[in-house]
Amino acid sequence: MPHDVPRPPAAGAGAAFFDVDNTLMRGASIYHFARGLAARDLFTTRDLLRFAWGQTLFRVTGSEQPEHIDAAREAALAFVAGHGVADLVDLCEEIYDDSMADRIWEGTRRLVQHHLDAGQAVWLVTATPVELAQIIRKRLGLTGALGTRAETIDGVYTGRLNGDLLHGPAKAEAVDALAREKGWDLAVCSAYSDSSNDLPLLSLVGKPHAVNPDGDLRRYARTHAWPVHDFRRHRQTLKAAIPVTLAGAAAGAVAIRALRRRGTP
């Protein structure tokens, strides 16, 4: 049975880590960002379809094959290469307010608030570019955000990543490093995700939760007696999870091409 809002630990004990796509937000944040760019005539339908096919395999299958990781990395690089950080942040803020703010799952918002009310730190942990993750964090009043980072020189993106995409095991590594820096005991920390790709992160903490889970994560959570929260209505779990995953995987390169085109005279 799905669980209601969990009772959090005592104030100051540990932290809570939330995935973004389909955990905190309906659909994928980068997809909604790409749609915002489309509404501003910054890319074509052809761009969207081309990107959708390439990125869907990586996201839907959860494949860790090198060629899929490389494709995702290349997309993330193209997303920002040659453009100013300030320009990207301005776009993120505008599009979040216009078309993303109302896509936050109310149930997950309550989970977040419960941790905040208990005096705990709440961090986003997502493969989405950190600039977009930071906008979401600020708008929701959260503590911090970990996301995919691109290298900058003099306020302009170079087209190289600082480290790897924050996906799968990389999320767990980033959270482990953050916990050591902050002095948190991961045994009393919580983590929330919709995807079996995040099992390394979920298994790292003492209080893992599955939110709107895909089939593999739902089965794993039930086997291990993890709380399961499903805030989707009037749709079967599998039917809901796959299109959202497709959309999330699909949008990054579209946004990438859009930003590159935006910088073209």
Tokens 């100013």 locate to 84
Question: Which of 119-128, 162-171, 237-246 has the lowest average pLDDT?
Answer: 237-246
With 50 as the cut, is the pLDDT of residue 7 above it?
A: no
With 50 as the cut, is the pLDDT of residue 237 above it?
A: no
The most confident of the ranges 76-80, 93-97, 179-183 is 179-183
* Alpha carbon 192 to chain centroid, angstroms: 11
Separation of alpha carbons 177 and 181, rounded Å: 6
The active-site residue out of 4, 21, 70, 194 is: 21
**Which position has the higher pLDDT, 107 or 60?**
107
Work out the number of other CB atoms within 10 angstroms of the CB of residue 86: 10
Residue 60, token pair as written in the block: 């839907």
Q: At the fourth CATH level, which superfamily is domain 20-262? A: HAD superfamily/HAD-like (3.40.50.1000)
- Give the percent of the chain with pLDDT over 90: 45
Q: Where are the domains of the chain?
A: 20-262
Question: Which of 41-50, 58-67, 100-109, 164-173 has the lowest average pLDDT?
Answer: 58-67
Separation of alpha carbons 179 and 173, rounded Å: 10
What is the tens place of the pLDDT at every residue in 186-195?
Answer: 999 999 999 9
- Confidence band (pLDDT; 50, 70, 90) for 264? very low
With 50 as the cut, is the pLDDT of residue 91 above it?
A: yes
What is the average per-residue pLDDT within 226-241?
68
- Give the percent of the chain with pLDDT over 70: 67
Cα dihedral sign, 43-45-50-56: positive
**Which position has the higher pLDDT, 227 or 43?**
227
With 60 as the cut, is the pLDDT of residue 13 above it?
A: yes
Separation of alpha carbons 137 and 156, rounded Å: 23
Q: Is residue 19 flagged as an active site residue?
A: yes
| pTM for this entry | 0.78
Tokens 């944040």 locate to 29
Residue 38, token pair as written in the block: 């489309």
What is the average per-residue pLDDT within 115-131?
93
With 80 as the cut, is the pLDDT of residue 136 above it?
A: yes
The active-site residue out of 4, 19, 98, 102 is: 19
- Confidence band (pLDDT; 50, 70, 90) for 234? very low
Separation of alpha carbons 212 and 28, rounded Å: 13
Residue 129, token pair as written in the block: 């570019």
- Confidence band (pLDDT; 50, 70, 90) for 221? very high
Q: Which helix (H) or strand (E) holds 130?
A: helix 130-140
Q: Is residue 21 flagged as an active site residue?
A: yes
Separation of alpha carbons 196 and 190, rounded Å: 16
Tokens 């896509």 locate to 103
* Mean pLDDT rounded to a whole number for the chain: 78
Q: What is the DSSP string of 54-113?
A: HHHHHHHH----HHHHHHHHHHHHHHHTT-BHHHHHHHHHHHIIIIIGGGB-HHHHHHHH
What's the confidence (pLDDT) of residue 31?
A: 72
Q: Quick one: how many helices (H) and strands (E) in the chain?
A: 10, 8
What is the average per-residue pLDDT within 213-225?
96
Residue 210, token pair as written in the block: 């599955």
What's the confidence (pLDDT) of residue 52?
A: 55
- Confidence band (pLDDT; 50, 70, 90) for 47? low
What's the confidence (pLDDT) of residue 29?
A: 82
With 90 as the cut, is the pLDDT of residue 223 above it?
A: yes
Tokens 């977009």 locate to 132
